Amino acid sequence: MLRLILKRALAALPNLLGVVIITFVLTRALPGDPAAYFAGGAATQEAVDQIRRELGLDRSWPEQFLLYLQGLARGDLGLSLTTGQPVLQELLTRLPASLELVLIALVLACVVAIPLGVMAATHPGSWIDQLCRVVTTMGVSLPTFFTGLLLAYVFYFLLGWAPPPMGRLDAVFSPPPTVTGFFLVDAALAGDPGLWWASLKQLILPTLTMAIFVLAPIARMTRGSMLQVLSSDFVRTARASGLSATTVRVRYALRNALLPVVTTLGMVFGFMLGSSVVVEKVFGWPGVGSYAIDALTASDYAPVQGFVLAMGVLFVALNLFVDVLYTLIDPRMSLEH
């Protein structure tokens, strides 16, 4: 299996190169001049030209691209002009914040959506089936920014139950010693229950916002896949053999229905990584999405290129993980297919 995973990883390198090329071209094709932005509105043309030469923007695109590739070969993603810090360092610092938010939201969505989809499929036309339809419709219809603002308005402004939607921790707390970058994990490792609870409270509203949005496709796919499997011949044979309803649903039906659900989870997770910027902006979350948007606003090329490349690497790793899950769920499947 390790050899096949390495083979898949090598096959993904041309895709990553395509991501690098497209991102490089698009960032420079967008309107805006980084040199003029950082020189300021009162700067003279000579000052702007000097900054452009210092940034290397006076060179041709092929020259800039070759310099960028040389930096990538050394593990150098460039320097952020807005923060003055290396892009790689900024991404490594901010990526755990985004991953913690996305992973917890995905787990929460699965805990609700998969059982809801299974019950809706096993009781078609019942109230639970109608509830599943309503939940999925609401999840698709409500934009994430609207859901986030609504939750913050109700639970923070009106009821006062939630902490201020301003980052990963309240101002009275200090971040835990960095081990994994996940505040919940690091606070638990530090043995600080108060800090762990404060980190969890900050996560509740943003994770709910993302979970509500991704709950719909997961529940819908689970329901549809279960309905298809429950009508299969092998399920009818299992029922005719006298097996209990729980055994038929869990051991036979659910296990076979999980394959398209896992595919959906992979797609949803990738989408959540890319679209987390909206939630991060609403709740002041210091993740990679908000970092990339701030850089894009300032025409700061290096952070945008680093963000897209990091997302591409994560998508490749995610696809490999989904392939491995296929073989664990159904050993008849192989990574070779």
User: pLDDT tens for residues 251-264?
Assistant: 777 777 877 888 78
The predicted pLDDT at position 148 comes to: 83
Tokens of 149: 């603002």
pLDDT band at 4 (very low <50, low <70, confident <90, very high): low
User: pLDDT tens for residues 299-310?
Assistant: 777 888 888 888
pLDDT band at 197 (very low <50, low <70, confident <90, very high): very high
pLDDT at residue 334 above 70?
A: no
Distance CA 111, CA 214 (A): 12
Mean pLDDT check: name the lowest of 77-86, 91-100, 105-114: 77-86
Domain ranges of the chain: 2-73, 94-329
Which of 310, 330, 305, 291 is closest to 27 using CA atoms?
Answer: 305
Q: Which of 52-56, 206-210, 216-220, 317-321 has the highest mean pLDDT?
A: 206-210
Which of 209, 99, 208 is closest to 145 using CA atoms?
Answer: 209
The predicted pLDDT at position 39 comes to: 63
User: pLDDT tens for residues 286-300?
Assistant: 888 888 888 877 777
pLDDT at residue 284 above 70?
A: yes
Q: 């050993």: which residue's tokens?
A: 331
Q: Which CATH class is domain 94-329?
A: mainly alpha
pLDDT at residue 336 above 50?
A: no
Q: What global pTM score does this model have?
A: 0.78
pLDDT at residue 76 above 50?
A: yes
pLDDT at residue 57 above 80?
A: no
Asked if 80 and 302 count as a contact pair (C-beta separation under 8 A), the reply is yes
Summarize the confidence of residues 40-58 as an average pLDDT. Answer: 71
The predicted pLDDT at position 335 comes to: 46
Distance CA 262, CA 322 (A): 7
